[in-house]
Amino acid sequence: MTTAASTPHRIAVAGATGRMGHMLIEAVRAADDCQLAGALDRADSPTLGQDAGAFAGWASGVVVTADLAAGLASAQCLIDFTRPEATLAHLAACRTAKVGMVIGTTGFSDAQKAQIAAAAQDIPIVLAPNMSVGVNVTMKLLELAAKALASGYDIEIIEAHHRHKVDAPSGTALQMGEVIAQAQGTRLADRAVYERYGHTGERKEGSIGFATVRGGDIVGEHTVLFAGTGERIEIAHKSTSRAGYAQGSLRAVRFLASKNSGLYDMFDVLNLR
């Protein structure tokens, strides 16, 4: 994965014809130090064989393919914002081809995360439920707030996304909960409340509540509420486009260029440890 500073980062994009795929391809095109090297999509995609830049009227010279080996042949790194099952198939192909990965896919089980960690022994991987630089700075703010507000404050995490999102709560919301719980020396699994209905009784002290909104074309909104006596603190992040995810992904690609293996997240990329 080590490249000279003047050599473009050769990037393949998974789910190349989806909304996020298009945003990533546009970001790669606009970056002086990046080059589109592969475009992957499902075997039943009607765009197979077409130029990956056709949607933008751009002749990229890269065709959309379902052949993983062919799509990764010229790439140094794959950016993947698809589904867990697809990402794991891409993971196996990248491990074989020695291609790094930037994974923004959410909804992984613990067993699937273990597969990613195992592959990271052979290839460099950035795994993060949200690649946005702003979101990850927000995570750092939550860590600081959680330590200072460890007692006397009830914590609620409210997230909103578009109607097409298939997992809930969002991976970003879950990560926020994990960051807060870890900062307070606890486990999210012991504190999380994912739904409330009917006669629930009083709020359990120390719980971290989640609320989910799905509708329209909301890109992504997350608000963490620390509610105390006589005051409340809200830390929020709102995305108005997927451009922030794409730019963060390119920063992750650049970070991996000097790595040969290892599992990293955006805190590593942004030096927020």
Annotated catalytic residue within 98, 140, 165, 259: 165
- The CA-based angle 139-145-148, given to 5 degrees, is 150
Q: In this structure, which amino acid lies at residue 250?
A: L
Active site residue 165: yes
Alpha-helical segments (H) within the chain: 19-30, 68-72, 84-97, 110-119, 133-148, 171-183, 243-256, 266-269
Q: For residue 222, indicate whether it is catalytic.
A: no
Catalytic annotation, pick one of 9, 22, 90, 161: 161
Put residue 217 in one of left, alpha, beta given phi > 0 → left and psi -120 to 50 → alpha: alpha
> What's at 180, amino acid-wise?
I
Contacts of 201 (CB under 8 A, 6+ apart): none
Active site residues: 161, 165
